[in-house]
Copies of this chain bind each other. A is one copy, B any other.
Amino acid sequence: MRDLAARPELLSLNTATVRERWGLQEIIEGCARHGIRAISPWRDQVAKTGLANVSKLIRTHGIGLSGYCRGGMFPAADAAGRERAREDNRRALDEALTLDAACLILVVGGLPPGSTDIAGARVQVEEGIAWLLEQARPAGMKLAIEPLHPMYAADRACVNTLAQANDMCDRLGDGVGVAVDVYHVWWDPALESEIARAGRAARLFAFHVCDWLVPTTDLLLDRGMMGDGVIDIPRIRGWVEAGGFKGHVEVEIFSAANWWKRDPDEVLRVCRERYATVC
Contact = CB atoms under 8 A, between A and B. Distances in A.
A212 B153 CA distance: 10
Nearest to A153: B187
Contact of A231 (B116, B155, B163, B215): B116
A26 interface: no
Interface in A211-244: 212, 214-217, 219, 229-232
A115 B230 contact: yes
Contacts of A153: 186-187
A111 interface: yes
B160 A232 contact: no
Given A117-B232, A118-B186, A161-B189, A151 B154 contact: no
Contact of A151 (B150, B158, B229): B150
Given A214-B155, A219-B216, A219-B219, A188 B150 contact: yes
Nearest to A168: B189
Contacts of A118: 186-187, 230, 232
A201 B20 CA distance: 52
Contacts of A116: 230-232
Given A118-B187, A164-B189, A216-B219, 16 more contacts: A115-B230, A116-B232, A117-B232, A118-B186, A118-B230, A118-B232, A122-B189, A150-B150, A151-B151, A151-B216, A154-B212, A154-B230, A163-B189, A163-B190, A215-B219, A219-B219
Which 10 residue pairs spanning A and B have beta carbons closest together?
A153-B187, A150-B187, A116-B232, A164-B189, A151-B151, A154-B230, A154-B214, A150-B150, A116-B230, A155-B214
